[in-house]
Amino acid sequence: MTTTRRANVYRAGDGELIGRLLSGADGITPVTLFGGPLAEPGGWATAVDVLRARGLASLAESWSYRRDDGADVVVKIIAAYPDRLLLVEAPYGFVSHDSPRYTVDTPTDRLSRIG
């Protein structure tokens, strides 16, 4: 059995949590606040650099979300909490007042990066 260790990474200055590092057999993987990988496993310093550059910025990106019915839809993150995300469907990057919204517990494997 492989044990994965997790370490939180905080932004210097204000102490904002910017992501986490997962240590596994292949190396250190930088992941978002909700567990989405931001890069392939590698060294500690590289993973920390990725989190500093993209950790919080990743919250503004478009993501693919797998709904309960199995359909994949493009979403934006409208709020992130330690235990959940609030998502809104954003086809073509557009969000409307009546766009479907979802609450997703974290960590989750139902979100993946687009692109």
35 neighbors 66 (Cβ within 8 angstroms): no
Q: What pLDDT score was predicted for residue 79?
A: 92
Task: Please tell me the distance from the alpha carbon of residue 83 to that of residue 65, in angstroms, as a whole number.
Answer: 17
Q: Of the candidates 54, 52, 44, which has an alpha carbon nearest to the alpha carbon of residue 21?
A: 44
Model confidence pLDDT, tens digit, residues 52-62: 999 989 888 99
Q: Is the peptide bond preceding residue 107 cis, with omega within 30 degrees of 0? A: yes
Q: Of the candidates 61, 62, 50, which has an alpha carbon nearest to the alpha carbon of residue 20?
A: 50
Dihedral of the alpha carbons of 68, 73, 77, 82, in degrees to the nearest 10? 30
Q: What domains are there in the chain, each with its CATH number? A: 5-58 (no CATH), 61-113 (2.30.30)
Percent of the chain with pLDDT over 70: 96
10 neighbors 19 (Cβ within 8 angstroms): no
User: pTM of the full predicted structure?
Assistant: 0.76
111-113/84-89 β-pairing:
unpaired
Task: Please tell me the distance from the alpha carbon of residue 54 to that of residue 46, in angstroms, as a whole number.
Answer: 12
Give the pLDDT mean for 91-102: 93
